Structure 1
Amino acid sequence: MEDFKLILDGLYKILYKNEKSTDIINEISKNVEDISYITKNIYGVLENKLYLEYILKKLSKIKLNKLDKNVKIILLIGLYNIHFLDRKNYAILNELVNLTKKVSFRSKSFVNAILRSFIRDEENLAKINIKNDDEYRSIKYSMPLWIIKYLNDSYGKAYTDKFLKSLNKERNLSIRINKTKTDKENLKKLLKDCGYILEDSKISDSSLIIKNPKGLAKTEEFENGLFTIQSEGSIKVCEILNPGKNSNILDMCAAPGTKTSFLAELCENSSKIIANDISFNKLSKINENIDRLGLKNIEITNFDASILKEEYKEKFDYILCDLPCSGLGVIDRKPEIRYNRTMEDVKNLSKLQKNILDRAFLYLKPGGRLVFSTCTIGNIENKDNFTYLSKKKRLKNIKINEKEYIEYNSFDDETDGFFITKFEKI
């Protein structure tokens, strides 16, 4: 039952306290040797939440919003185990009933009855009886209807279908080589000697794909700063900015510092970098990255990037605007995002991005270069703001692979959804 208690507490914090799934899993891993079952349950419930709630509505006479929050989560855990993990034995059911006694004693019979009913009639209860195509997909893939409609409008239904089908597939982990300390061939040899299976990235020259990443962050090579765990799309952002040596660089929204550190590596520690983030609590993470990787000439600042700093006008040769966004491009890694975002958030974030881009334009020297990127998908935060930048008379688009901008997605590129575009001030 201890595992189920950790799963319950973790899901409660994610769903009702707005905590991040990755942080919860990392915290649990400090005290539990094998967290594979716990991880599978936390992510499994999040990835299938709307579908599990759909089933629960068929079984419960009480409206879901009237249920005790802990009891509802216990039921979702039970339904997930029965339907997706094929754990139909009554020992599991009894464990969940005993857990219910601890959080809401009077609900124990209710939980017992619901889960037993599902075991008896799983095949029928698991069917989705919805005729509307978008509503059906919303339940099947546990994706809020507004996101499906938004992606349909931005890219069409074929794209949306591929995106939805790719969500729960296991994705490869990628790392970035720290070329100030090693090179690709040497790192490949070291990691192969540790038993890791590697592939070259198709997206980034500075990246390797690790097929069996268990224990990677505990290796001597990681501790010594020979590589950083980072998605290929994120690595590509810095490669596209491609800052020169002995230059002034501004990373407008830098936390947790993964891209900042790569900018320093690309310049071989020769450039002056200002790494800024509005969140003071995230600044320590930037310092951790800098120290582990052995990087220099990085100043960490803490200001609101949407507010003008007069002293920064035309000061920088390169500016990275990897901006706050809805994060729809990383839903497969952070499934809770789909439940704590709204279309209003997307519109507000797009406005914030415009404000920050306006400031970046003023901070850029003539001849200076700017990269605007997000880890989201959908036109409002991406293509619309590319168009906004394109209308500035002193900005010239620099094509990437013969395109005005590039977009990565999880199903074609097997990396995070990323939007990247580059401009030069004239």
Structure 2
Amino acid sequence: MTDTKVVTRNTREIALDILIEILEKGDFSHTLLNRTLKTYSDLTKQDRSFITRLVEGTLERLLTLDFYINSYSSVKVGKMKPLIRTLLRLSVYQLKYMDQVPDSAVCNEAVKLAGKRGFKSLSGFMNGVLRNIARNTKEDYHSLEQKDRIGYLEVAYSTPRWMIEKWLKEYSYETVKGMLAAQFEESRGTTVRVNQSVNTPEELLEILKKENIAAAKGIYNDTALKLLNYETMDAIKAFSDGRFTVQDESSMLIGFISDVKAGDYIIDVCAAPGGKSLHVADLLKGSGKVDARDLTEYKVSLINENIARLGYDNIEACCMDAKELDEESVGKADIVIADLPCSGLGVIGKKPDIKYNMTEEKQKELIKLQREILTTVSQYVKEEGTLIYSTCTVNKDENLDNVEWFVRNFPFQLESIEKYLPENISSDTKQMGYLQLIPGIHNTDGFFMARLKKLKCL
């Protein structure tokens, strides 16, 4: 991408190319969108917001959009040319979920863009499909709920059927419905953690106010704030100055249930981009040491960027494969944090492409990986030390099933986390040593955590 492209391409075309890279070539939505917006530096704030809404909205509603297109097209979505199906999807998203542009203009712009990209012969097809969809004002998938509840949830909440079937075996229909609906909350904002080594939450709120950044206090802890109106994180001076870092409240709870004590040695085995490592380093108040480890140099560079920005000197990052045993660490750590690779289905509200890329086969492989890593890293925990296991998913087989397998096979036992957690988190399992946060019930990402104590050898 060059500066010339900034001038010659409109916002819809930029969104189209981003979506093609994500949907047809497998790029990651959150990184590609941020990278592209940085490249097109001449865009106005309004244009950047339009592109972001169009890309994220199309991804969030993909299966719903395909339902509409397949209902009015003689050629099904799967048989279309990649550019045509992507252009139809983003255009239908505008028709159904965005009011800024008249329907006629959406249809005309789609036809023009198809012609510009070499598909002028399909102008009549594009125009016919979009105008038929525009004329249909009825939410015609709602009738599905009476005869096929899973099919209704699949279309209404744009989530693959296998996922819904899996969750319905573990949760009630209403819980699953609420969990699916939560991914579309428009006022989600960005949750950040205050860097207490340089400012209090009250001080940061005043600083953000001077930057014209709207912020509200967190729900579950005093060091969390939610930012509600900003263009890019890098443009916020308080962020560049290290006064806060991006971290969901669910993730912050890991620091609290770790029960960090002055002088502790902590190993975070899958740390990037470093949120939990940085939090426990902050809680140590300059004492102790945190080893933040991850698999690649790129991931370690992300941790190091955050360490430098926040200014902590009791944390180091290094490149290490969590599956490979580090002999020098055996029996050394007071606390091991194992927030392991998972299906990520608790954060589909932030990364909607995850739900389309995950499969049952991939998820089963992840469970094997989680158990392999736990087998290795549990050896780093001292006798009577603590292992924190967590994931950002809601699947029982990656969460509680893994914990139960672990305590059957290793000298660890669950410890109550009730005293470390806010009273306003509703859960019947805190005393049992674990917590499953569920979107739609809790005001956080979907997230699982468990605290395990290593037993003393007899």
TM-score by length of 1: 0.94
**Residue 101 of structure 1 corresponds to which residue in structure 2?**
115
Contact 1:118 1:125 survives alignment (8 Å): no
**Equivalent position amino acid for 2:84 in 1:** V
Q: 1:273 to 1:124 in 2, by over 3 A?
A: closer
**Residue 423 of structure 2 corresponds to which residue in structure 1?**
none
Q: Calculate percent identity across the aligned residue pairs.
A: 33
Q: 1:353 to 1:393 in 2, by over 3 A?
A: closer
Q: 1:268 to 1:125 in 2, by over 3 A?
A: closer
* Residue from 404, 422, 425 that aligns with 2:451: 422
Contact 1:58 1:125 survives alignment (8 Å): no
What displacement does 1:125 show?
A: 8.0
**Residue 164 of structure 1 corresponds to which residue in structure 2?**
180
**Residue 12 of structure 2 corresponds to which residue in structure 1?**
4
Give 3-state SS (helix, strand or coil) of 2:205's partner: helix
CA deviation vs aligned residue, 1:141-195 (integer Å, no higher than 9, x gap): 1110011111111122121011122220121432111111122232233233444
**Equivalent position amino acid for 1:420 in 2:** M
What displacement does 1:266 show?
A: 1.3
Give 3-state SS (helix, strand or coil) of 2:137's partner: helix
> Could you say what the CA RMSD is over the residues aligned between the two structures, in angstroms?
2.0
Give 3-state SS (helix, strand or coil) of 1:391's partner: helix
- Separation in 1 of the partners of 2:258 and 2:114? 53
- Separation in 2 of the partners of 1:210 and 1:204? 15
What displacement does 1:126 show?
A: 4.3
**Residue 117 of structure 1 corresponds to which residue in structure 2?**
132
Map residues 10-29 of structure 1 onto 2, 5 A cutoff: 10-29=18-37
**Equivalent position amino acid for 2:369 in 1:** L
What displacement does 1:301 show?
A: 2.2
Q: Which runs of 5+ in 2 are unaligned?
A: 1-8, 419-430
- Separation in 2 of the partners of 1:78 and 1:190? 40
* Residue from 195, 207, 218 that aligns with 1:178: 195
**Residue 425 of structure 2 corresponds to which residue in structure 1?**
none
TM-score by length of 2: 0.88
Contact 2:393 2:447 survives alignment (8 Å): yes
What displacement does 1:83 show?
A: 1.7
Contact 1:375 1:418 survives alignment (8 Å): yes
* Residue from 92, 95, 108 that aligns with 1:82: 95
- Separation in 2 of the partners of 1:389 and 1:204? 30
- Separation in 2 of the partners of 1:63 and 1:191? 49
- Separation in 1 of the partners of 2:432 and 2:221? 17
Contact 1:206 1:235 survives alignment (8 Å): no
Give 3-state SS (helix, strand or coil) of 1:276's partner: strand
- Separation in 2 of the partners of 1:28 and 1:211? 22
- Separation in 2 of the partners of 1:244 and 1:18? 43
- Separation in 1 of the partners of 2:440 and 2:142? 25
- Separation in 2 of the partners of 1:135 and 1:127? 9
- Separation in 2 of the partners of 1:57 and 1:392? 50
Contact 1:346 1:380 survives alignment (8 Å): no
**Residue 360 of structure 2 corresponds to which residue in structure 1?**
343
CA deviation vs aligned residue, 1:378-407 (integer Å, no higher than 9, x gap): 101011012122224521212111242112
What displacement does 1:328 show?
A: 0.4
Q: Which runs of 5+ in 1 are unaligned?
A: none
Map residues 9-158 of structure 1 onto 2, 5 A cutoff: 9-30=17-38, 31=40, 32-34=43-45, 35-86=48-99, 87-105=101-119, 106-120=121-135, 122-123=136-137, 126-127=140-141, 130=144, 131-158=147-174
Task: Count how many residue pairs are aligned between Structure 1 and Structure 2.
Answer: 425
What displacement does 1:123 show?
A: 2.8
- Separation in 1 of the partners of 2:433 and 2:238? 38
Give 3-state SS (helix, strand or coil) of 1:14's partner: helix
Contact 2:325 2:377 survives alignment (8 Å): no
Contact 1:325 1:346 survives alignment (8 Å): yes
- Separation in 1 of the partners of 2:68 and 2:210? 48
Give 3-state SS (helix, strand or coil) of 1:414's partner: coil
